[in-house]
Amino acid sequence: MSVNGSQRVDLEVVANLIPPQSRVLDVGSGDGSLLELLQDTKQVDGRGLELSQRGVNECVARGLSVIQGDADKDLEFYPDKGFDFVVLSQTLQATRNPKLVLDELLRIGNRAIVSFPNFGHWRVRLSLFLNGRMPVTKDLPYSWYDTPNIHFCTIRDFVNLCDELGATVEKATALDANGQRIGLSMPWWFWNFFGQQAVFLLKR
């Protein structure tokens, strides 16, 4: 379900937020990279939910506990606070109802970790400003008519949504185009301009 062409620089940032032996649900587990990383380095009790059947079958063949399912439809079957962490990496923008999905993440997990591409990044802004066309960049390679990314947001938008859902931002990280963390002391507008990806640790 992870739907962009980037090198997933966010994976390590996400992994660093999770203490050893946690119970983790990875929503949109793709080929299982994050789950495998977490299992190998943090000995987590990890589960995955993945939309593409091919991804699921690959994960299961690699010994990962993954089921086929849709973040928009299948999160309702998980019990309240069943996991220490629920991770949604690079998938929020592809859901039909991001607000509901985020709400579900906060219900299922004691904490939610969400990573997403920042549509407020200067390259995106510049592309739209100069070309007057929907931005197609290295990390967001789809055209408007075939993109699975139907609900883009900026870092500022996301922070607003967290407020609306009563979620507390415990930690936030923005990564620049090279996957480097942007300094912690920078204000939101700076992150929103230079952050290509954002990783949020949320609690409610």
**Interface with another protein by CB under 8 A: which residues?**
45, 47, 53, 56-57, 59-69, 74, 77-79, 82
CB of 18 to another protein, least distance (A): 17
Side-chain-side CA neighbours of 124 within 13 Å: the count stands at 20
Name 132's Cβ contacts closer than 8 Å, sequence gap at least 6. none
CB of 42 or CB of 156, closer to another protein: 42
| Helix, coil or strand: residue 35 | helix
CA 94, CA 101: separation in Å to the nearest integer? 11
Name 50's Cβ contacts closer than 8 Å, sequence gap at least 6. 1, 28, 29, 30, 56, 59, 66, 67, 68, 69
CB of 59 or CB of 106, closer to another protein: 59
CB of 70 or CB of 157, closer to another protein: 70
CB of 66 to another protein, least distance (A): 6
CB of 77 or CB of 129, closer to another protein: 77
CB of 134 to another protein, least distance (A): 34
CB of 76 to another protein, least distance (A): 9
Length of the chain: 204
CB of 45 to another protein, least distance (A): 7
CB of 60 or CB of 186, closer to another protein: 60
φ/ψ of residue 48, rounded to 5: -135, 150
CB of 48 or CB of 117, closer to another protein: 48
| Helix, coil or strand: residue 143 | coil
Q: Are 56 and 27 in contact (CB under 8 A)?
A: no
CB of 63 to another protein, least distance (A): 3
Euclidean distance between the first and final Cα of the chain, in Å? Answer: 25
